Structure 1
Amino acid sequence: MIHIEHVNKIYKTGDVETAALKDIELTIQDGAFVVILGPSGSGKSTLLNVISGLDTVTSGTITFGDTVLTKLSPEQMTAFRRDHLGFIFQQYNLLQNLTVYENIQIGADLSDNPLPIDELLEQVGLTAARDKYPYQLSGGEQQRVSVARSLAKNPSIVFCDEPTGSLDEDNSKRVLELLERLNKEYDKTVVVITHNTGISEMADDVIKMNSGRIIELTHNPIKRSARDIHWG
């Protein structure tokens, strides 16, 4: 469980201060599928970055289970991310000189308790492509490799920053189905940053942001499957 209490983030450029996050209060439950919505500049990516320790807060507290993330040193935070967190970005960030299997192996090597790579390849539908290189794959296939690599180290929570932003609807829904399976079958907490309101239909909790604040927090009593969500 993640608790975020009175979190503020201010960026300074010379004498100019910009408040990217303003007094954020939030709890993310274990095993939840959470979607954070908002227009460009709303603070949603900044919120993901401070929750995941990719950036620091100006003030406030973030607690992950019994660990107070905002009290960790940079070295301790790096170790925490390695041991507990997974990341999926809009850009695939695959190593072009490594095969599909070898790219996923990078994630597995970060963990003392990795998930089986062959099982992951089957889950993402890429068993036949295990020995191919990224340039031989479509964008949707490369993103599925990215999902498998993130999951390989068996993280407690997976953060996704616009994971379908560069994909068409069909490939996007394939990736979302993987995240859905990750949440349901592997019991992983999933946090997705997106501007696509349709994706919020498959979430347990939806956080809407604007101007650095949470303006609405809703819970979906009934969730749509990834394949059935409205697109756009």
Structure 2
Amino acid sequence: MIIIRDVTKTYTNGDVTTDALKNINLTIEDGEFIVILGPSGSGKSTLLNVISGLDTVTSGEITFNSTALTSLSESEMTAFRREHLGFIFQQYNLLQNLNVLDNIQIGADIGKDPLDGQELLKAVGLQEAGNKYPHQLSGGEQQRVSIARSLAKNPDIIFCDEPTGSLDEHNSKNVLAMLQELNNNYHKTIVLITHNAGIAEMADKVIKMNSGEITEFIMNKEKKSAREISWG
């Protein structure tokens, strides 16, 4: 469980001060599929960054189970991310000189209880592509490799920063279906930020943001599958 209490984030540039997050309070339960929804500049990326320790808070507290993340040193936070968190970004960030299986193995190598790379390839539907290189794959396939790499170290939580932003609808829904399977079959907590309201239909909890504030919480009583959501 992650608990965010009274979190603010302020950026200062000369005489200009910007409040990117304003008094955020939020609880993320183990195994939830969370969508943080909002337009560009709403604060959703900043919220993901402070929850995951990629950025620091100005004030407030973030705890993961009994660990106060906002009290950790930079090196302690790096170790925490390595052990507990996985990341999937809009850009695939695959190493072009390594084949698919070796890219996945990079994730496994930093985990204490890693998952098997071949099994992950099968899970993302690329069991025949282990010896291929990223340039030989489509965008959707590369994103599935990045998902497998993120899962390889067996993280507790997977943070997704606009993971379908560079994909068409078909490939986007394939990637979202994969994330839904990770949530259902591997019981991974998923935190996904997006500006696409359709993706919110597959979440347990939707957090709407605007101007650095949470404007609405929505609990979906009936979640849609990734194939069923509206698009655009």
TM-score (norm 2): 0.99
For 2:141, what is the secondary structure of its paired residue?
helix
CA separation in 2, counterparts of 1:169 and 1:59? Answer: 39
For 2:163, what is the secondary structure of its paired residue?
coil
1:230 aligns with 2:230: yes
CA separation in 1, counterparts of 2:227 and 2:84? Answer: 29
For 1:129, what is the secondary structure of its paired residue?
coil
Question: What residue in structure 1 maps to residue 9 of structure 2?
Answer: 9
Q: Following superposition of structure 1 onto structure 2, how do residues 125-140 of structure 1 map, counting pairs within 5 Å?
A: 125-140=125-140
For 1:228, what is the secondary structure of its paired residue?
coil
Task: Mark the runs of 5 or more structure 2 residues left unpaired by the alignment.
Answer: none
Aligned-pair CA distance for 1:123? 0.8
Question: What residue in structure 1 maps to residue 68 of structure 2?
Answer: 68
Q: Following superposition of structure 1 onto structure 2, how do residues 19-34 of structure 1 map, counting pairs within 5 Å?
A: 19-34=19-34
One-letter amino acid of the structure 2 residue matched with residue 154 of structure 1: N
Question: What residue in structure 1 maps to residue 115 of structure 2?
Answer: 115
After the TM superposition, which parts of structure 1 deviate over 3 Å for at least 4 consecutive aligned residues? none
Question: What residue in structure 2 maps to residue 191 of structure 1?
Answer: 191
CA separation in 1, counterparts of 2:45 and 2:111? Answer: 26
Between 109-118 and 207-216, report the one with greater CA deviation. 109-118
Q: Following superposition of structure 1 onto structure 2, how do residues 29-178 of structure 1 map, counting pairs within 5 Å?
A: 29-178=29-178
The size of the alignment, in residue pairs, is 232
Aligned-pair CA distance for 1:180? 0.3
Task: Mark the runs of 5 or more structure 1 residues left unpaired by the alignment.
Answer: none
Equivalent pairs: percent with the same residue?
A: 71
CA separation in 2, counterparts of 1:28 and 1:107? Answer: 24
TM-score (norm 1): 0.99
CA separation in 1, counterparts of 2:118 and 2:103? Answer: 13
Q: C-alpha offsets along residues 144-193 of structure 1, whole Å, 9 cap, x if unaligned?
A: 00000000000000000000000001100110011000000000000000
CA separation in 2, counterparts of 1:108 and 1:158? Answer: 15
Aligned-pair CA distance for 1:135? 0.6
